[in-house]
Amino acid sequence: MLESLTAFIVDYGYLHLFILSFLASTVLPFGSEALVIALVYQGFSPFAVVMVATTGNFLGSCTTYYLGLKGRNVLDRYLSPSPEKLEKSERLFNKYGVYTLLFTWVPGIGDVITMVAGLMQLSFRSFSILVFLGKFGRYLVLAYSVVLFNGGF
């Protein structure tokens, strides 16, 4: 069983990481951290793992942002965000501004932050830079933590 799981990871690691990272940045209850750790532990390039995970996660956030741009009716129809989370995200935006987007990787509220950025018609350029940097930083810390704890560098 462990051998087949290892083969599965090694054979399709980057593809699965991209898909899982993409899905994890939507409102679907997925996480990509375990696969990032497994790939780095299996000897995949930490930088490549970080870039694939970041790109997938970023593009998933872009879809949520886009739905937010389309308005509240589209969000309610496709994503059904809780009013409490939307309100909390709006308060964060009002208090901290666009820099809130650096925290779109935070489970539970990150996806809602991207929705609110769309609803607030935030420029895609600002959205892209801050979301990408936040997600990149998260995966970089995660991947290189595995390297450090594995005695590498």
Inform me whether the pLDDT recorded for 5 exceeds 70.
Answer: no
The per-residue pLDDT for 31 is 86
Task: Identify the band that residue 127 occupies on the pLDDT scale cut at 50, 70 and 90.
Answer: very high
Q: What is the mean pLDDT of residues 120-138?
A: 95
The per-residue pLDDT for 90 is 77
Per the listing, tokens 């750790």 go with 37
Write the Ramachandran bin of 26: left for phi over 0, alpha for psi from -120 to 50, otherwise beta.
beta
Q: Is 65:104 a contact under the CB 8 Å cutoff? A: no
Cα 43 to the center of its chain, rounded Å: 23
Inform me whether the pLDDT recorded for 80 exceeds 70.
Answer: no
Predicted structure pTM score? 0.84
Q: Is 153:147 a contact under the CB 8 Å cutoff? A: yes
User: What are the residue boundaries of the structural domains of the chain, listed by start?
Assistant: 2-149
Element (H, E) at 47: helix 46-69
